[in-house]
Structure 1
Amino acid sequence: MDLQQLRYVVAVAETRNFTRAAERCLVVQSSLSHRIANLERELGVKLFARSSRRVELTSAGEAFLVGARECLTAADRAVADAAAATGVVRGTLAVGVIVTTAAVDVPEVLQRYRARHPDVRVLLRAGGSDELAAAVRRGDLDIAFLGLPEGARPPGVETLALDRDEHVLVVPTGHRLAGAARVTLLDIADETFVDFVAGTPARAQSDQAFAAAGLARDVAYEAGVAELITRLVARDLGVALLPSAFVRPLAAGDPELALVPVADGPRRVEYLAWGRFNPSPATRAMLDVLGVRGADPED
């Protein structure tokens, strides 16, 4: 058994197709199939159930895949650590980003990172704060940019507060409150709302604010993307509460939207999160680019 065989197994497991796996691994299909068949003979079990149309992991293959991924991760880390000892940062950096990130300009940060460490491959993943924090805890992501309700903190990871922000009310320009200097949650409780999907941290920020005020509201539309929320608002389908730092640049170029401050509205904190145990050289390099090297993780 060798690492290349493990890479072939992972590629087939992820693509569910020997041809696509071979293309990913830059080998001919016959070579990949032959190496996997040799591995199965060595192990004495079938890793894949094959037919003319389908490829699926067997129960033995599912069990083997876990260890195979762990071995490949350890091997990649060994290579990265060896390179870092000579002053060269290599390997992979997996970054999670919420769609409403505003505390940092992520593309600009990645541009600076690449200028310093061109040998690092960066993988980006968008998602909700809860799923991204869980991915950091599992080691599937190296760092993540999160947004959580004020007072909440992602458990099991190192965090640094990047910014604190208030939500604003987003309404169509023809709305009765479009020109208001400021509103309260009571003023808008009877409105129809567009918001993020229930159960997500992005949604919890508004839900908790209304609950704390003893108010109920009607959320008629749920969306996973902030830009879709603003488009629904522009069509006069409802109003929304969104982080001001994120939505102000969007509204500035959109004559169909108006923003109104909310006196007792939701507040959120944007965090940088990374794994507690032995960050990789690529992760430490990103922390350095972000200016948090040596920072107290509880700040």
Structure 2
Amino acid sequence: MELRQLSHFLAVARRRSFTLAAHDVNVVQSSLSASIRQLERELGATLFDRTTRRVELSPAGRALLPIARHILADARAAKAEISAVQGLLRGQVALGTIQMLTWIDLPEVLARFTKAYPGVEISLLEAPVDEMIEALRSGELDLAYLACGVDELPAALTVIDSDTEPLAVAAGPDHPLAGQPGVRLADLEAEPFVEFQAGTGLQTVVDRLCHDAGLKRRIVLRTTQLELLASLVRHGLGLAVLPVGVAHQAGLTAVPIIGNTADRTVALVTRAGHDSNPAVRALLDLLRPDPAG
């Protein structure tokens, strides 16, 4: 049993898809499938129940899941201890993020970090909030940007910084709302909506916001891709509730929401003990907002 195989197993368990998991771990799907088959042969058990439409953990897979997380967390801790001895010549940082991150230019920051510390390996995970929280707790992730209420986080996690951003109704340029100074959510009962993927922090906040406003959305399309969602809204196929900055970046009209407090909180989160990894400390120096800015 190899650490690589366990990493592949966790990716499939998290994504419930060999295609998406292969993308996450940066291997071709055939290699990922072969790795899982080899692990199953070594353990003498089927880890996933596969159908043409879904991939689910088998009883054996569910039993292996916490063990695999524990083994990989111990391996990451060992690497952190070695990197502490070696300085930043070597090391590893695992960072989780959300698609709709407007707080910071993350690719630019990671490029600067890689240039300054070329020996440090960075892995980046994009996943629903619950999965990233579990990955933080198990040690798969060192840091993560989460779109959720700070008071909703488990006690084992620590908020390093947070930012609140307003939400708005995003509309295409030809939609009648595009010229309005504001709109009440309750007045949009007849409008079609496009929804971002279930399980994300944004979707949870939007569900709560619409419920409080008495709006039963007529959701006509759901997507996991921000670019597709923006294109659907732009072409008039539905409205969406998005952070104002995201709507503007996508070229959509952001119509202010009247009558309800409409915002979401994005937090940079870690778990206790992150300071033992010098690579994490170095990355945090770049991720923290500049007080002078």
* Structure-1-length-normalised TM-score: 0.70
> Paired residue for 2:282?
285
Displacement after TM superposition at 1:221 (Å): 1.6
Name the structure with the higher helix share: 2
Deviation at 1:154, TM superposition (A): 2.4
- The match for 2:107 is 107
Unaligned runs of 5+ in 1: 25-32, 37-44, 51-58, 252-256, 294-299
Displacement after TM superposition at 1:177 (Å): 1.2
> Which digits, 9 at most, give the CA deviation of each residue in 1:105-162, with x for residues without a partner?
111111222233221111111122232122111211111111125x653223111343
Q: CA deviation at 1:261?
A: 1.6
- Counterpart Cα distance in 1 of 2:191 and 2:214: 16
- Asked if residue 218 in structure 1 is aligned to residue 201 in structure 2, the reply is no
Is the 2:128–2:199 Cα contact (8 Å) retained in structure 1? no
The one-letter amino acid of 2:168's match is V
After superposition, the Cα gap between the structure-2 partners of 1:84 and 1:244, relative to the gap in structure 1 and judged at 3 Å, is: same
Q: In the aligned structure 2, how far is the partner of 1:63 from the partner of 1:223?
A: 32
Counting matched residue pairs gives 256
What is the Cα deviation at residue 288 of structure 1?
Answer: 2.3
> Which residue identity lines up with residue 152 of structure 2 in the other structure?
R
Mark the structure with the bigger radius of gyration.
Answer: 1
Determine the structure 1 residue equivalent to 2:264. 268
Deviation per CA, 1:36-81: give whole Å up to 9, x if none. 9xxxxxxxx963579xxxxxxxx99997897677556535533432
- How far, CA to CA, are the matches of 2:239 and 2:7 in structure 1? 45
Residues 193 and 240, structure 2, Cα contact 8 Å, conserved in 1: yes
CA contact (8 A) 2:73 2:140 kept: no
Q: Which amino acid aligns with 1:271?
A: A
| Residues 1:132 and 2:132 aligned together | yes
Tell me if structure 2 keeps the 8 A contact 1:148–1:268: yes
How far does residue 272 in structure 1 lie from its aligned partner after superposition?
0.4
Residue 270 of structure 1 and its aligned partner are, at CA, apart by: 0.9
Structure 2 CA distance for aligned equivalents of residues 176 and 12 of structure 1: 48
* 1:171-218 deviation per Cα after TM superposition (whole angstroms, max 9, x unaligned): 122211110111221232331111123454221211111222233222
Equivalent-residue separation in structure 1 for 2:137 and 2:182 (angstroms): 40
Unaligned runs of at least 5 residues, structure 2: 13-17, 19-29, 47-58
Deviating above 4 A after TM superposition, structure 1's stretches of 4 or more consecutive aligned residues are 5-16, 59-73
